[in-house]
Structure formats: structure tokens, C-alpha cells
């Protein structure tokens, strides 16, 4: 890769790693659904501004309904799950669990989309599951029912990401495709519409009160970072990387997010880094490598 591509990949990893820091700051104060709702709203607003500045042609090719439905799977449910987990787990934990996304893609693809399960992918899934167990049991947080629920919420989120990758291919790519920026905007809009009634129901008594009652300036700066930077700007950066270096190399961001998530948690929240982080994270990293590495191509001889 060019140096500029490598720099953008590292910047994207740092940004997405920071999303777990921001959620850890926001969710214990605002709660699960408000955190998820404001994230997608800020994300949609940020993407709308980017689309306007880039003068993007508004042509959804009849796919806006599919794109919004995809947003429920790819943003609405996962963001709510991670917001729930952020009330319980350190930011570094959630960042490491996020790395299981490719593993969940393998499981979902094998079970529901007739994808072939190679030996490397099977080994990768097993390593990943062992890594999850090691992180949960050997990490600095005492293993409780709440911690297991937080870990489960993270795995539900990554499972949704796995489903979304296949549904994107079925609903969008195989039907002529769609401008990635429009897809990102519509997905955030769909997620906001999905979460809105749940958000209103859960916060009906607080709606109408001053925003100062919802947290201080620091919290809303974190929310702006989560929605505008970690969601809107990160989507644009990611899609640009896919266009420049391809989807496979872009997926290496999966390896880089956990170290940044753990690092930001340690620096800004004083979270402890232990051998549980290192052992569990390493196993999950090896698992992701086994799943993402290109298959070995064997040359077939041709007899004339």
C-alpha cells in the first residue's frame, strides 16, 4: 500500500477505537437507547452535511427502503448492543470483542447463506471462541452475570454485522449497487427511525427537560465525536479506502481497532491492561487472520 493509504488505515483504526471510549463515557450517564439514538442522529446529520458539500447526486435507484432496513441490522441493533455493553464493560473489552466480526460472518454465512466452511475458517472460529472465553474469564473485570450479558451484547452486535454483510450483497450489490455515501446516510436514517420509538418510550419523563439535565458539556462533546467523527466521517474514510486498496486490505482495520480501543481506555479512563487483554486479544487476532487470509491458489496443469 502507499504511505497515504497506510496512514488513513491507522487513522480509521484510531477513530473507530475511540468510539468505544466515547460510549463508555456516555452510556452510563444517558443510558442505552439515548446513546444509540443520538449516535445515529448525529451520524445522519454529519453524512447529510458531507453529501451536501460533495454535491452528491441524490439517486437511491429505488433502494432507499432496502438501505434503511440494512441500517437497522448494521447500525441500529449493534449500536444499541454496544451502548448496553458500555454500561458494564471497559472500553477495551468491547473493542476486542468487536474484532470477532469476521468470525461471526463465517458462522452466519455457513449456517444461513450456504457459504463453504474451509479448514482455516473453522480453526479461526475455534480460536476466536477460545479468545472470547480467555478475555472474559482472565481479564481484569470479575466474571459476573452482568459481565456475561455485556459480552453477549457485543457478540450480538458482531453477529448483526455478519448478517449485514450478506444482506448488503443481496439487497444492494446484486441489484446494481448504490453510491456508498448514500448507502451510509440511508442506513443511519433507517437506524434512527427504528430506535426513535424505543428512545421516546424509555425517556418520556425526561423529554422536554434542558439538555443540561442529560449530562454536561464534556458528555455532548463525546457524543459529537461519536456521531460526527466515529460514524459519519469514519464511514466516508472507510469507503474511500475500499475504493483505493480494495475490501480485503481494508478489512485489516479489524486487527488495529482493539489496540487503539484498549489504549484510549487506559489513557483517558485509567482502565487496567492485563495479560487477559493480551492473551484474549492475541487469540482473537490470530482467528481473524485465519478467516481473512486469502486462500492458496493452486495451478492446474493443462494437457494440450
Mean pLDDT, rounded, for 46-51: 95
pTM of the model: 0.90
| Contact criterion met (CB below 8 Å) for 40 and 192 | yes
pLDDT score for 294? 72
Residue written as grid cell 448514500 = 182
CA distance 132 to 152: 10
Task: Please give the backbone phi and psi of residue 297, each rounded to the nearest 5 degrees, phi first.
Answer: -90, 125
Q: Which of 169, 186, 188, 185 is nearest to 177 (CA)?
A: 169
Kindly state the average pLDDT of the residues 241-260: 81
pLDDT band for position 37 (cuts 50, 70, 90):
very high
The stretch 158-181 carries a mean pLDDT of 89
pLDDT digits (tens, 9 = 90+) for 220-229: 999 999 999 9
* Helix, strand, coil percent content, the chain, rounded in steps of 5: 80, 0, 20
83-112: pLDDT as tens digits: 999 999 999 999 999 999 889 989 999 999
pLDDT tens string 190-220: 999 999 999 998 887 665 555 556 788 899 9
- pLDDT of 18 reads 97
The mean pLDDT of the chain is: 88
Report the pLDDT value the prediction gives residue 211, as an integer from 0 to 100.
55
Contact 207, 200 (CB under 8 A): yes
CB atoms within 10 A of CB 129: 17
Question: Which of 134, 110, 136 lies closest to 122 in space, CA to CA?
Answer: 110
Task: Report residue 303's pLDDT band, with 50, 70 and 90 as the boundaries.
Answer: very low
Give the separation between CA 32 and CA 66, rounded to whole angstroms: 26
- Residue 266 neighbours by CB distance under 10 Å: 17
Amino acid at each position: 500500500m502507499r504511505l497515504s493509504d497506510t496512514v488513513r488505515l491507522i487513522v480509521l483504526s484510531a477513530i473507530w477505537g475511540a468510539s468505544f471510549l466515547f460510549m463508555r463515557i456516555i452510556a452510563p450517564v444517558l443510558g442505552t437507547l439515548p446513546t444509540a439514538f443520538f449516535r445515529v442522529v448525529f451520524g445522519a446529520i454529519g453524512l447529510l452535511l458531507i453529501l451536501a458539500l460533495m454535491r452528491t447526486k441524490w439517486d437511491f435507484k429505488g433502494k432507499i427502503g432496502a438501505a434503511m432496513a440494512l441500517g437497522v441490522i448494521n447500525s441500529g441493533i449493534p449500536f444499541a448492543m454496544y451502548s448496553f455493553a458500555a454500561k458494564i464493560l471497559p472500553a477495551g473489552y468491547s473493542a476486542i470483542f468487536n474484532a470477532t466480526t469476521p468470525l461471526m460472518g463465517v458462522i452466519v454465512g455457513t449456517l444461513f447463506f450456504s457459504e463453504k466452511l474451509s479448514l482455516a475458517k473453522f480453526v479461526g472460529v475455534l480460536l476466536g471462541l477460545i479468545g472470547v472465553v480467555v478475555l472474559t474469564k482472565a481479564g481484569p473485570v470479575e466474571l459476573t452475570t452482568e459481565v456475561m450479558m455485556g459480552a453477549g451484547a457485543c457478540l450480538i452486535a458482531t453477529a448483526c454485522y455478519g448478517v449485514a454483510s450478506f444482506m448488503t450483497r443481496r439487497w444492494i450489490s446484486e441489484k446494481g449497487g448504490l453510491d456508498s455515501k448514500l448507502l451510509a446516510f440511508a442506513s443511519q436514517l433507517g437506524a434512527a427511525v427504528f430506535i426513535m420509538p424505543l428512545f421516546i418510550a424509555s425517556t418520556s419523563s425526561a423529554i422536554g427537560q434542558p439538555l443540561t439535565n442529560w449530562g454536561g458539556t464534556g458528555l455532548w462533546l463525546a457524543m459529537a465525536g461519536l456521531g460526527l467523527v466515529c460514524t459519519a466521517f469514519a464511514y466516508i474514510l472507510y469507503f474511500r479506502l475500499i475504493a483505493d486498496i480494495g475490501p480485503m486490505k481494508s478489512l485489516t482495520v479489524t486487527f488495529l481497532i482493539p489496540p487503539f480501543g484498549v489504549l484510549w481506555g487506559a489513557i483517558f479512563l485509567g482502565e487496567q491492561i492485563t495479560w487477559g487483554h493480551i492473551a484474549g486479544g492475541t487469540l482473537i487476532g490470530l482467528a481473524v487472520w485465519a478467516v481473512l487470509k486469502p486462500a492458496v491458489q493452486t495451478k492446474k496443469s493443462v494437457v494440450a
